[in-house]
Amino acid sequence: MKIGVFDSGVGGLTVLRALMDRIPEVDYLYLGDTARLPYGAKSRTTVARYAASSARFLVGEGAEFLVIACNTASALALDAIRDAASVPVLGVVETGANAAQVSSDTRDVMVMATAATVESHAYAAACAVRGLRTIEKACPLLVPLVEEGWIEHPVTSEVLRIYLAELMEQARAAELHPDTLVLGCTHYPLLRTQIERAVPETLQVIDSAAVTAAQVERRLGILRGAVNGARPARFFATDSVVKFRTLGSRFLGRAIDDVELVDLGN
Amino acid sequence: MKIGVFDSGVGGLTVLRALMDRIPEVDYLYLGDTARLPYGAKSRTTVARYAASSARFLVGEGAEFLVIACNTASALALDAIRDAASVPVLGVVETGANAAQVSSDTRDVMVMATAATVESHAYAAACAVRGLRTIEKACPLLVPLVEEGWIEHPVTSEVLRIYLAELMEQARAAELHPDTLVLGCTHYPLLRTQIERAVPETLQVIDSAAVTAAQVERRLGILRGAVNGARPARFFATDSVVKFRTLGSRFLGRAIDDVELVDLGN
């Protein structure tokens, strides 16, 4: 069994990490479309074209199941990806919304995400069809803080405190009573401990990487065999192989030895 | 006289703002290649292709002089732009290095810039040919802090304090005695007051927008006539016209009423 994981950059490696921890018995392919990131600033047509070509590449390399670890692609291009790929596809927006649906008793949830994801209102839409009301907040400083490596850092604590206070205030103003917080960006699982520390204990924090891995496992109905650790994944990037390797290993939680450069055109 | 100002995004509007303040008697065209940003993650070939097509567009719209307000394009593609454009071209890396050369008595300078600009070592190279030694520091949090609007903000003060302390430490370790600090990113002029407050008074802070405007003025030898304020500039973007207008007005320091969407291909 081969699972292909796709993101516009290295953030989706947090999803791959959760998958490798949870389902070590399969082979993984990871594609970071680093030459064409960020998808967030691009139109739906462009994102759909990029994501479809990326999905076709992974299927061509043997992927029998696709995990779309890119929020923008999940939000804007899931149908295009499903049309382009002949294999089952699961996107992080739907897995996050699925987990929120299970978690929330009040039916009110909060979402922290990048500006582009919030502007797409993809989480609000996915939550609405599941009967949930949603408050979304753009947190544009969190990705650069994570990429700077400032995880256990007073500046990050202070930024989180400000963002979370603004989010709670938004919820109050809208007269919602959220009991669930969805981390709607693949970089945020690295801040999960800090975020859980900063919110009331009654608030359930949904880590999109972990819940995606759990849902992939259920979807595949994998029979757990005796496996000695995960097999090495194959990594592909469309640009900046060195940056992918150095930055990516922080997200994956282990060294990335080899990254193959691929050209998917414009 | 028409001056074309080019950047990959809205940051270069700080340069346009300085130009409009200093040389109000000319017409301005501004192009933000927002569909294809960020240039920083792209290869030299790709940046050269994008920058050349952008330069040709501005010349086609009547620009008789080009200011490259994009650090990456100035660093990687100035020759390609000069080949593509039939008009004089000035880039922010050379104007910053020119100003540092005039400012520095110790011949040692420090540069704060984005990760991509630092990785290109464009400032170090431009300073070296002018007889200056250089310490460069990537400051990846400053652009998102400016775009978040956190200018007079304790988090920004703390981030600047950390970055500046690390920069001074780098200089000490290299046994340099810098007396000049170049702000090597078009977003940083908005933080100039905060930066000047955080460094010793003896350190000269070079604001790339202001020194670029001064050097364009000298280059053009403009005869100052009686002018009633700046004429409205024309603005072009390759994507996200709304975002350009809202975010851009903060950089320009005045409202941007109209942005024309242009398609420069891939």
Is-contact A220 A28, C-beta < 8 A?
A: no
For residue A32, the chain B residues in CB contact (below 8 A) are none
**A26-84 pLDDT per residue, tens:** 999 999 998 887 787 677 888 899 999 999 999 999 999 999 999 989 988 999 999 99
What domains can be seen in chain B, in order of their start residue?
Answer: 2-91+212-261 (3.40.50.1860), 93-208 (3.40.50.1860)
**Looking at residue B123, what is its pLDDT?**
96
A240 at interface of B, judged by CB pairs closer than 8 A: yes
Give the residue ranges of DSSP H helices in B186-256. 192-198, 208-220, 241-252
Distance between CA atoms of residues B200 and B182, nearest Å = 14
Is-contact A4 A59, C-beta < 8 A?
A: yes
Least confident of A128-132, B37-41, B100-104: B37-41
Task: Find, among A88, A114, A133, A105, the residue nearest to A202 by Cα.
Answer: A105
**B202-212 pLDDT per residue, tens:** 999 999 899 99
* SS3 call for B121: coil
**Looking at residue B37, what is its pLDDT?**
78
**Looking at residue A16, what is its pLDDT?**
95
Distance between CA atoms of residues B144 and B158, nearest Å = 15
CA B211 vs CA B19, B158, B220: distances in Å: 10, 27, 14
**Does the pLDDT at position B223 exceed 70?**
no
Q: Best residue in B141, B238, B243 to probe A by mutation, most A CBs within 10 Å?
A: B141
Q: Cβ contact (<8 Å) for A155 and B154?
A: no
A42 at interface of B, judged by CB pairs closer than 8 A: yes
Q: Cβ contact (<8 Å) for B140 and A147?
A: yes
Candidate from A43, A46, A144 with C-beta closest to B144 = A144
**Does the pLDDT at position B41 exceed 80?**
no
A154 at interface of B, judged by CB pairs closer than 8 A: yes
**Looking at residue B246, what is its pLDDT?**
86
Average pLDDT, whole number, for chain A?
Answer: 92
A144 at interface of B, judged by CB pairs closer than 8 A: yes
**Does the pLDDT at position A118 exceed 70?**
yes
Nearest residue in A to B35, CA atom: A42
Is-contact B114 B71, C-beta < 8 A?
A: yes
**A164-179 pLDDT per residue, tens:** 999 999 999 999 999 9
B residues 190-219 lying closer than 8 A (beta carbon) to A: none
User: Percent of chain A scored above 70 by pLDDT?
Assistant: 96
Is-contact B162 A155, C-beta < 8 A?
A: yes
- B61 by Cβ neighbours in 10 Å (0-12 / 13-18 / 19+) ranks as middle
Model confidence band, residue B109 (pLDDT cutoffs 50, 70, 90): very high
Q: In what order do the strands lie in the sheet with B180-183?
A: B133-138, B108-113, B180-183, B204-207
A234-254: average pLDDT: 87
Least confident of A146-160, A181-195, B213-227: B213-227
Distance between CA atoms of residues A118 and A127, nearest Å = 13
B36 at interface of A, judged by CB pairs closer than 8 A: no
Distance between CA atoms of residues A14 and A33, nearest Å = 16
**Does the pLDDT at position B130 exceed 70?**
yes
Per the model's pLDDT, the better-predicted residue between A100 and A242 turns out to be A100
For residue B246, the chain A residues in CB contact (below 8 A) are none
**Does the pLDDT at position A222 exceed 80?**
no
Is-contact A182 A111, C-beta < 8 A?
A: yes
Is-contact B38 B11, C-beta < 8 A?
A: no
Distance between CA atoms of residues A29 and B72, nearest Å = 32
Average pLDDT, whole number, for chain B?
Answer: 92
Please count the residues of chain A. 266
Catalytic (active-site) positions of B: 70, 185
Min Cα–Cα distance to chain A from B229, Å: 34
CB pairs under 8 A between A and B: 48
B76 at interface of A, judged by CB pairs closer than 8 A: no
Candidate from B35, B41, B140 with C-beta closest to A37 = B41
| AA letter at B51 | A
For residue A145, the chain B residues in CB contact (below 8 A) are 141
Nearest residue in A to B242, CA atom: A41
Report the DSSP pairing between strands A89-91 and A133-138.
Answer: unpaired
Q: Which residues are CB-neighbours of A125 under 8 A, at least 6 positions away?
A: none
B144 at interface of A, judged by CB pairs closer than 8 A: yes
Is-contact A57 A49, C-beta < 8 A?
A: no
User: Percent of chain B scored above 70 by pLDDT?
Assistant: 96
**B61-105 pLDDT per residue, tens:** 999 999 999 998 998 899 999 999 999 999 999 999 999 999 999
**B141-188 pLDDT per residue, tens:** 999 999 899 999 999 999 999 999 999 999 999 999 999 999 999 999
**Looking at residue A230, what is its pLDDT?**
62
**Looking at residue A244, what is its pLDDT?**
87
Q: Taking the CB of residue A83, how many other CB atoms lie within 10 A of it?
A: 13
Candidate from B35, B42, B154 with C-beta closest to A239 = B42
Task: Find, among A5, A4, A6, A2, the residue nearest to A26 by Cα.
Answer: A2
**Looking at residue B85, what is its pLDDT?**
94
Catalytic (active-site) positions of A: 70, 185
